A = this chain, B = another copy of it.
């Protein structure tokens, strides 16, 4: 060989070696917070299967759609949904502008610090609180309110910002799927405009890949400038049967993988796995009373009962948080 050719051969060899090495390292390290076990293995097997060119299970990149519930799946949901805690904080902040709340339930009880009495009104009370705190602003104003709250509010138990109460193993899973050509979506019962201001920074999921519950908005010209005003009227409740409906509405194709933690996600997992070809469904089971919370069949928030049965019957992956996850939150790693 001429010196040139020797050099070229060396260059190509180095390149192949480097790329090969990187690919191996990535596969080995992409889920470092997942203990070796059935759950981790099932994820890697599925991803390997659908990404292997020429395999009968191969799925083209643009069909690699993965949907994730948010509350209890990507971040914690105890002692209550974080969005409800946001709403309660907003009631306090808005109270000076609403002297009438002193004599009006559920606000009167809330202002006295009696959340339990306030929420005794059930769904109707919650809806009143949500509308009073989520509507009446423009979309731009609401975004700023959410951002300001997240920048200062602290979780009542951990005393950390809410955006730190996310699950480290799930962050790794999101990144692992995206590195393998998946498009990751959130499909949550939470408010779509409550999530979008921060999901890109925290999860790497851009606003246009966030699906959630919504209230109606109205286009208006104010002082010559167009604004969207948030109306006190429910538009869509993205839970249970609503999740496949919203997936069809927003995404327009069926996911090949879906991730949830409660009976509210059951229909999303059914819809996902009923499609043709390889499919993957995973439930996060809250089993760790020490590092997080342990709850399932009897919990009013994040109840996992029917879903746990169906997962057994259908062979879906069930993550035992206590057993399967080395760490729960990113801050445990520091």
Binding site for B on A (CB under 8 A): 3-4, 7, 62, 65, 139, 183, 192-193, 196, 200, 206-210, 214, 217-219, 221, 225-226, 228, 235, 241-242, 244-245, 248-253, 267, 270-271, 274
**What's the nearest-Cβ distance from chain B to residue A271, in Å?**
5
Q: Write 27 A-B pairs (CB below 8 A) sorted by A numbering.
A: A3-B3, A62-B206, A65-B208, A139-B248, A183-B208, A192-B249, A192-B252, A207-B251, A207-B252, A207-B253, A208-B208, A208-B209, A208-B250, A208-B251, A214-B249, A218-B241, A219-B242, A219-B244, A219-B245, A219-B267, A225-B274, A226-B267, A226-B271, A226-B274, A228-B244, A228-B248, A235-B249
Known A219-B241, A248-B217: A208·B253 in contact at CB below 8 Å? yes
Residues A245 and B228 in contact, CB atoms below 8 Å apart? yes
Q: Which residue of B4, B7, B244 contacts A226 across the interface (Cβ within 8 Å)?
A: B244
In the complex, which residue of chain B has the Cβ closest to the Cβ of A209?
Answer: B208
Query: In whole angstroms, how far apart are the Cα atoms of A202 and B235 in the complex?
Result: 32
Residues B208 and A252 in contact, CB atoms below 8 Å apart? yes
Residues A219 and B252 in contact, CB atoms below 8 Å apart? no
Known A7-B7, A62-B206: A226·B270 in contact at CB below 8 Å? yes
Number of copies of this chain that the complex holds: 2
Query: In whole angstroms, how far apart are the Cα atoms of A139 and B209 in the complex?
Result: 21
Query: In whole angstroms, how far apart are the Cα atoms of A3 and B7 in the complex?
Result: 10
Complex contacts, A251 vs chain B, CB 8 Å: 207-208
Complex contacts, A139 vs chain B, CB 8 Å: 248
Query: In whole angstroms, how far apart are the Cα atoms of A207 and B183 in the complex?
Result: 13
In the complex, which residue of chain B has the Cβ closest to the Cβ of A253?
Answer: B207
**What's the nearest-Cβ distance from chain B to residue A198, in Å?**
12
**What's the nearest-Cβ distance from chain B to residue A109, in Å?**
33
Complex contacts, A241 vs chain B, CB 8 Å: 218-219
Complex contacts, A221 vs chain B, CB 8 Å: 270
Residues B249 and A217 in contact, CB atoms below 8 Å apart? yes
Complex contacts, A245 vs chain B, CB 8 Å: 217-219, 228
In the complex, which residue of chain B has the Cβ closest to the Cβ of A193?
Answer: B252
In the complex, which residue of chain B has the Cβ closest to the Cβ of A274?
Answer: B226
In the complex, which residue of chain B has the Cβ closest to the Cβ of A197?
Answer: B252
Known A225-B274, A244-B226, A274-B226: A210·B252 in contact at CB below 8 Å? yes
Complex contacts, A208 vs chain B, CB 8 Å: 65, 183, 208-209, 250-253
Query: In whole angstroms, how far apart are the Cα atoms of A228 and B248 in the complex?
Result: 8
Complex contacts, A235 vs chain B, CB 8 Å: 249
Query: In whole angstroms, how far apart are the Cα atoms of A245 and B138 in the complex?
Result: 12
Query: In whole angstroms, how far apart are the Cα atoms of A228 and B196 in the complex?
Result: 27
Q: Which residue of B200, B218, B228, B271 contacts A219 across the interface (Cβ within 8 Å)?
A: B271
**What's the nearest-Cβ distance from chain B to residue A243, in Å?**
8
In the complex, which residue of chain B has the Cβ closest to the Cβ of A273?
Answer: B226
Complex contacts, A210 vs chain B, CB 8 Å: 252
Complex contacts, A218 vs chain B, CB 8 Å: 241, 245
**What's the nearest-Cβ distance from chain B to residue A265, in Å?**
13
**What's the nearest-Cβ distance from chain B to residue A196, in Å?**
5
**What's the nearest-Cβ distance from chain B to residue A60, in Å?**
11
Q: Using A192-B249, A219-B242 as known contacts, list a sample of 4 further A-B pairs with CB atoms less than 8 Å apart, ordered by residue number in A.
A: A183-B208, A214-B249, A221-B270, A225-B274
